[in-house]
């Protein structure tokens, strides 16, 4: 999906309710009511006033890294006390951070050049953003980057031969096992060329949709280079996102959720509105920790809306949630960065009260979801 189309989705206004669909018939009794804990606290020593948060990484209950942008470049701040105070580590000029990830003690950050939006790079840091080394640099867009277990790095890039064909662009994966010294083009090993930038990584495999001749979901192992078709659909599937083992697919008009097994998928649920069959429900974000799954659904219609959901039974049932808190209202939140950590969604927020800037943290999680899981099984 191109960036321009995605931006169009994100700017559409909000308004229509939707059902949660679990089987061939809508069953509203399968929706869940999940109580949420919402904790907020002020930051005592935040990031510099010229900076606004773009990407957040939580490494432990007390440690985190924040990328922030001031219009000139990206600075990195770290915390070791749960977000109450932040220390500035380093600055990289002329870039903005798109994605930050940590794997095996190394931070990887995906940047784009603010003076040339088509020029992107991936840098790595072993000292929480103080110094950086180049892992990947491209004159063309790097759409996705992931650091997987075992030191495997993989990136999704655009085929330069198709860069000027707006509706016929193709993408391909490259991978390295020596921190970017040598990159391998995976096109000779994959079943079909990628027609979409929407894909996900589960363990050491990439999950993507193929709709050259058939509408399939492919699981490609990045170690063995083996491809397996794990799902076939009669519907067009232009988008796919995933968590630990749950994937969300824009399939037909619905947001369908499946659990990925070794060589197949198990249907879990759908989010859609049976009374508005021509509306599209698009999973835009999926974050998972064990049985807890968060998703952000975009309803693609003239009077559509965006809605957050949570599941505590691995996407079988869903509950709508609102991330807004009383502190958001009190401090009129202007910008934020969020991330998933364990069963939580954590935000670094920048607000303002009485003309003064105030940074704060909010932590949102389900109450006693492990107890809920036990009672539902019994």
pLDDT tens, residue by residue, 77-92: 999 999 999 999 999 9
Angle at 278 between CA 214 and CA 5, to 5 degrees: 70
Short-list 212, 210, 236, 208, CA closest to 220: 208
The highest-level CATH class for domain 42-186+340-355 is: mainly beta
This prediction's pTM: 0.86
Structure-token pair, residue 50: 């010229």
Q: Which helix (H) or strand (E) holds 246?
A: strand 246-251
Short-list 61, 58, 60, CA closest to 77: 58
Please say whether the dihedral angle defined by the alpha carbons of residues 92, 51, 321 and 327, taken in this order, is positive or negative.
Answer: positive
Who wins on pLDDT, 226 or 276? 226
Please tell me the distance from the alpha carbon of residue 34 to that of residue 286, in angstroms, as a whole number. Answer: 18
Average pLDDT of the residues in 204-213: 81
Please tell me the distance from the alpha carbon of residue 124 to that of residue 292, in angstroms, as a whole number. Answer: 30
The pLDDT, as a whole number, for residue 150 is: 82
Q: Is the pLDDT of residue 15 over 80?
A: no
Q: Is the pLDDT of residue 369 over 80?
A: no
Please tell me the distance from the alpha carbon of residue 20 to that of residue 318, in angstroms, as a whole number. Answer: 7
Q: Is the pLDDT of residue 300 over 70?
A: yes
- Beta strands, E only, 50-129: 52-58, 64-69, 73-79, 87-93, 95-103, 106-113, 116-125
The pLDDT, as a whole number, for residue 151 is: 85
3-class SS of residue 331: helix
């509306």: which residue's tokens? Answer: 279
Residues of the chain with CATH 2.130.10.10: 42-186+340-355
Q: Cβ distance 238 to 209 under 8 Å? A: yes
Short-list 41, 15, 49, 34, CA closest to 326: 41
Of 239-253, 261-275, 363-377, give the lowest mean pLDDT range: 363-377
The pLDDT, as a whole number, for residue 117 is: 79
């Amino acid at each position: 999906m191109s960036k321009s189309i995605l931006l169009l989705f994100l700017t559409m206004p909000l308004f229509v309710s939707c059902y949660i669909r679990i089987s061939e018939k809508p069953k509203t009794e399968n929706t869940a009511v999940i109580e949420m804990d919402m904790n907020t606290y002020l930051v005592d020593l935040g990031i510099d006033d010229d900076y606004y948060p773009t990407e957040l990484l939580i490494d432990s209950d007390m440690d985190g890294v924040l990328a922030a942008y001031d219009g000139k470049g990206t600075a990195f701040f770290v915390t070791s006390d749960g977000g109450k105070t932040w220390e500035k580590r380093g600055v990289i000029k002329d870039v903005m951070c798109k994605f930050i990830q940590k794997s095996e003690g190394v931070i990887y950050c995906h940047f784009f050049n603010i003076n040339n939006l088509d020029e992107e790079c991936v840098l790595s840091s072993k000292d929480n953003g103080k110094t950086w080394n180049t892992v990947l640099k491209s004159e063309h867009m790097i759409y996705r980057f992931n650091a997987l277990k075992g030191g495997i790095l993989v990136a999704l890039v655009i085929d330069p031969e198709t860069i000027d064909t707006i509706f016929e662009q193709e993408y391909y994966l490259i991978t390295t096992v020596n921190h970017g010294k040598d990159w391998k083009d995976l096109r000779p090993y994959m079943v079909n060329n990628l027609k979409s930038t929407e894909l996900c990584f589960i363990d050491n495999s990439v999950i993507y949709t193929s709709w050259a001749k058939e509408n399939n979901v492919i699981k490609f192992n990045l170690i063995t280079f083996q491809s397996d078709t794990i799902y076939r659909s009669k519907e067009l599937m232009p988008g796919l996102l995933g968590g630990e083992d749950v994937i969300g697919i824009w399939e037909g008009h619905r947001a369908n959720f499946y659990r990925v097994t070794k060589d197949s998928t198990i249907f879990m649920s759908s989010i859609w509105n049976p009374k508005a069959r021509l509306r599209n429900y698009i999973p835009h974000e999926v974050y998972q920790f064990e049985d807890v799954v968060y998703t952000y659904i975009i309803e693609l219609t003239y009077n559509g809306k965006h809605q957050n959901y949570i599941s505590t039974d691995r996407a079988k049932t869903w509950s709508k949630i609102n991330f807004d808190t009383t502190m958001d209202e009190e401090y009129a939140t202007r910008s934020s960065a969020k991330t998933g950590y364990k069963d939580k969604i954590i935000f670094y927020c920048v607000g303002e009260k009485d003309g003064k800037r105030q940074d704060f943290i909010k932590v949102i999680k389900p109450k006693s979801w492990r107890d809920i899981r036990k009672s539902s099984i019994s």
